Chain A
């Protein structure tokens, strides 16, 4: 159990210790279900970190990476997605029209994001070919 999951395990353990200390000291417990859920959620988050990315657990500094990476320089799709989510919730207060408009805009933004991601992959492939050809 190393690296990025350690803070989460420490965090959950502190909660657990506090719970036990309080139970001994006070003779009664704080809500067991709520505390148990909190501890399990934090431990579970730590487990997710462990399962999803071994890099985050590896002891020591990160190693150098040599492969090319693609990064967007701008994203209209992301801006539209943020605004359309806001439009939908704003519409919940004001009018259904804004909910539908926001929903349509969200679909468009997802399409736009798809185009952007495809372009990013193409760019990455191109760069990798250039690097391997050199």
Chain B
């Protein structure tokens, strides 16, 4: 395809020549513009989110009452496997990468992503992986059905025969490969393509969260690819994970990926919520350096806690992993302190993005606090494989990502489309999502305490089980309504556009210093001087100081 030349971002960009751009579907599919790749990935992963949500609704319908026969046991196994796999490999993690692909070059003042062809190839590899994984629904023996973790020996060729599980395994390899390549491109962009003046400690909070996430992807996803490649060989007569030690080896490999990915699914949304909160508080993010240190500590610890998922196997050193898991409280506490301190003394504007940001911290708190208890092996033995664990990880993975994601959507939608989302519909969306989330997931703590195990498709009558499950199913329906409200909001906002302008929120970071949506190569005008992680806020403060001086008040008067 044609090549174009563009200067790097600089205070005064030199003229650039551009080849004619290809429009239509082919242009969108082959574009190496980081914004187009990011949008394509976001759109595809949102479609996967809708599919994963539909699987969840089918599961919740099956569990609504004792002894339901809505789906067969085998179909239920496929549903919970594909629900988890779709959400983790095809929605939450790739959406974090899509946000980084679109926003990080803009936030650091870069004209393009590093190695754009690799990024594009990574996107298509990831998408192919998603489609291969979902294609399991079309084969005779159904889709993957050994859980999103596919422990051995459950997932070996004897216990889970059939092509569907093979397609799942190959799908995971492809999706993880694509995401690793894209994460490498984003990391390289941050390392090599920052604008003049943008030192590491002047990068926006969101960019830092993405950098740390992408480092975790690059560090841990190759282990998943290896584990899955060996699993494929094991399923076809390789006997790689045989015996007790083989199963423990598989779990070690899997969870070495599986725990860092929890933070890959959290940090970018934390960053999005932080940007929304700081902008809507009209204050810079409080405690920037400790925050950066805390997410780096989080990332480092994420590689040292994986076996807390394996406490009850008897094959790991529980004390060590309980110690490192409990240490996670320290960086998490710093992040919460920073969020609250940013809002204290700010001029809060309670728009939808801000409310989603606050909701993100409130909802994740429940997941985080319950995590402290199950980081203790003694309590984990009690809670293992019960609905307490399901409640905990949905409060961390669903509440800890989706609320932050929507905070980001409401914050950056005007930048991406040039149009505002409707605030009223946004607040309705938030209310429904809050109600739905808590009605669905909070009762699961009780259900676990009543003794209900995970991954069972039917249950006989037990005191409290039927009613609690019914409440959860109703809650899942409310979440679906919330998503419909969001889709309606997007449709209405794009159809009857309310122009947003370049900087509708008085943003702090460089993406607000260009048009909405941004042009090819991002910045046409010279970039503002970068003296901190909130350069546009600095500009505004300087202008206010000058105005005060001109009025005779003097700086700081």
Q: Do A and B come from one complex?
A: yes
Chain A residues with CB under 8 A of B167: 93
Tell me which of B2, B10, B118, B319 contacts A66 (CB under 8 A). B10
Question: Quick check: is B395 within 8 A (CB to CB) of the other chain?
Answer: no
Chain B residues with CB under 8 A of A94: 163
Produce 1/0 per residue, B186-220, CB < 8 A to A: 00000110111111101000000000100100010
Main secondary structure of the interface of A (DSSP, over half): helix
Q: Return B406 CB to nearest CB of chain A, in Å.
A: 29
Contact call B30/A79, Cβ cutoff below 8 A: yes
Contact call A86/B4, Cβ cutoff below 8 A: no
Contact call A64/B11, Cβ cutoff below 8 A: yes
Contact call A75/B300, Cβ cutoff below 8 A: no
CA distance A24 to B52 in the complex (A): 46
- Highest count of chain B CB atoms <10 Å: which of A53, A62, A79: A62
- Highest count of chain B CB atoms <10 Å: which of A42, A63, A74, A130: A74
Q: Return B28 CB to nearest CB of chain A, in Å.
A: 10
Contact call B5/A127, Cβ cutoff below 8 A: yes
Q: Return B48 CB to nearest CB of chain A, in Å.
A: 16
On whether A64 and B196 interact (CB within 8 A), knowing A10-B296, A74-B31, A86-B128, the answer reads: yes
Contact call B30/A61, Cβ cutoff below 8 A: no
CA distance A113 to B32 in the complex (A): 13
Question: Quick check: is B537 within 8 A (CB to CB) of the other chain?
Answer: no
Tell me which of A4, A11, A77, A87 contacts B303 (CB under 8 A). A11
CA distance A87 to B199 in the complex (A): 42
Chain A residues with CB under 8 A of B297: 14
Contact call A56/B4, Cβ cutoff below 8 A: no
Chain A residues with CB under 8 A of B215: 7
Produce 1/0 per residue, A76-104, CB < 8 A to B: 11110111011101101110000000000
Tell me which of B122, B191, B197 contacts A61 (CB under 8 A). B197
Contact call A75/B198, Cβ cutoff below 8 A: no
On whether A69 and B6 interact (CB within 8 A), knowing A7-B296, A75-B32, the answer reads: yes
In the complex, given contacts A73-B3, A73-B21, what are 14 additional A-B residue pairs having Cβ atoms less than 8 angstroms apart?
A: A11-B299, A22-B317, A61-B530, A62-B198, A65-B8, A66-B10, A66-B14, A71-B6, A73-B31, A73-B33, A77-B117, A93-B163, A94-B163, A123-B19
Enumerate 21 A-B pairs (CB-CB under 8 Å) in ascending A order.
Answer: A7-B299, A18-B320, A21-B323, A25-B319, A53-B191, A61-B202, A62-B199, A63-B196, A69-B5, A71-B3, A73-B2, A73-B4, A73-B18, A74-B22, A78-B118, A85-B177, A87-B128, A90-B132, A93-B167, A119-B3, A130-B17
